[in-house]
Amino acid sequence: MRNSGRFSAFHFRDFRLFWAGQLISYSGTWMHSTAQGWLVYSLTKSPFYLGMVSAASWLPILFLSLVGGVVADRFRKRNLLLVTQALSILPALVIGILAAMGMVNVWHVMAMGMLMGLFNAFDIPARQSFLIEMVERKSLLNAVALNSAAFNGARIMGPVAAGLTIAYIGLAPCFFINALSFLAVIVALSMMKVKGLPGKKRESIIKEISDGVRFIRGEPDIMRSMVVVSTFSLFGLPFIALLPVFAEEVLNVGAEGLGFLAGAAGVGALSAAMMLAFRGDIEGKRRSMAIAAVAFPATLLMFSLSTNYAFSLAALLATGFAIVSFLALANSSIQLMTPDGLRGRVMSVYTTVFLGMMPLGHSMMGTLASVIGTAKAVAIGAGICLAVSVIVLSGGKRK
């Protein structure tokens, strides 16, 4: 067995390839996301439309991720990821072309967001459950943390690059760069020796989904984690889509300031991921998860009440640190408690409650922000997350 300590997942060649490709692709995705938010707000000046466009991007995940989990358990995950990554180039290209021609409208962004969400509904469960096939079980938390580090390192670089690109070049290049970035993952997957475990015997889709849900219901620790994750997705994480409003109306820092606000959360998130990767496996996971689950809404509440740019950056840094600490620990704990034959389906439920709930959350928070104000809406959402975290996780066993 290889060492399960610091950066142990990097001992595996296929994971190194995958990680490098993901870092490039994630950077393009964050550029796209930041530019999309600025584009929608420039077109509409409405937090309601920011919420609706974000909701459209996640809506297919809500309805199709469970099917995506069945597909991930039926087929070799590497081959499935090659298909989803190739298809994901199309929506970014279309928005880039429309933006460059000055023909883009809100419904174009919404339609392409839904198409990207469709591909993600099959990509994300396969990608999440593929990690353990590239590394040994003892290195899974390390792999999850390092993958999160790539995501959040890109979360720093992508928004800052997007803010500068928008300010000095324009919107369209952000979308073209994202389209190109998917090629990095395709090349990495093509070079891998691990092809993914062959699928198990097939039954009806409904039966296979039911097996995954039944397993989760029989595991109280997994259930508690799923409840908290879904609450964060509904009431906490939609604050990301509302950052353009904070940048423009609350803090008055413009497009460049928006990039740094998003980047600050990324710095905190990257710090958490690197800390987990450096430490390797840790004791007291449940206690650490509970602390992080309380810290996330508490720091988000501080951000929502702030009118000072420097304090807002600091609050977002702490928010990013807390949410990634919680999600990385929850993700790895759930996977390690799940048998190989069910992992795709269990992670599809995780994807549904994590990302699939975001359409509802973005719609609710966008609507609420347009009625009572963005800062108040985010504060209310943070309060709900805080209450649920304390109530639900206080009942868990300490491990």
What are the tens digits of pLDDT across the range 351-395?
888 887 877 887 788 889 888 988 999 999 999 999 999 988 776
Please report whether residue 198 resides in a domain: no
Contact 381, 235 (CB under 8 A): yes
Of residues 97 and 159, which shows the higher confidence score?
97
Burial label, 283 (beta-carbon count in 10 A; 0-12, 13-18, 19+): exposed
Q: How far apart are CA 322 and CA 306, in angstroms?
A: 18
Task: Judge whether residue 178 has pLDDT over 80.
Answer: yes
Instruction: Tell me, yes or no, whether 3 lies in a domain.
Output: no
- What 3-state class would DSSP assign to 194? coil
What pLDDT is stored for residue 218 in this prediction?
Answer: 87
Phi–psi pair at 170, nearest 5 degrees: 140, 175
Angle at 273 between CA 299 and CA 378, to 5 degrees: 25
Query: Is residue 156 in a domain?
Result: yes
Domain of 336 in residue numbering reads as 9-189+205-393
| CA distances for 176 relative to 55, 99, 112, angstroms | 23, 10, 14
Q: Write the CATH number for 299.
A: 1.20.1250.20
Position 307 in a domain: yes
For residue range 205-215, list pLDDT tens digits in order.
788 888 888 99
Residue 385: closest CA among 230, 173, 186 = 230
Q: Is residue 2 part of a domain?
A: no
Model confidence at 135, pLDDT cuts 50, 70, 90, reads confident
Q: What is the pLDDT of residue 383?
A: 95
Does the pLDDT at position 1 exceed 60?
A: no
Give per-residue pLDDT as tens, 9-49. Answer: 888 999 999 999 999 999 999 899 889 988 988 888 877 78
What letters, b where the CB count within 10 A reaches 16 and e where it falls short, cover 46-77?
A: bbebbbbbbbbbbbbbbebbbbbbbbbbbbbb
Residue 228 lies in a domain: yes
Residue 185 lies in a domain: yes
The confidence score (pLDDT) of residue 198 equals: 61
Average pLDDT value over all residues in the chain: 86
Kindly tell me if the per-residue pLDDT of 398 is higher than 60.
Answer: no
pLDDT at 117 over 70: yes
> Looking at the 3D structure of the chain, how many domains does it have?
1
Whole-number pLDDT of residue 365: 87
What percent of the chain is predicted at pLDDT more than 90?
Answer: 35
Residue 195 lies in a domain: no
In angstroms, the CA 398 to CA 386 distance is 19
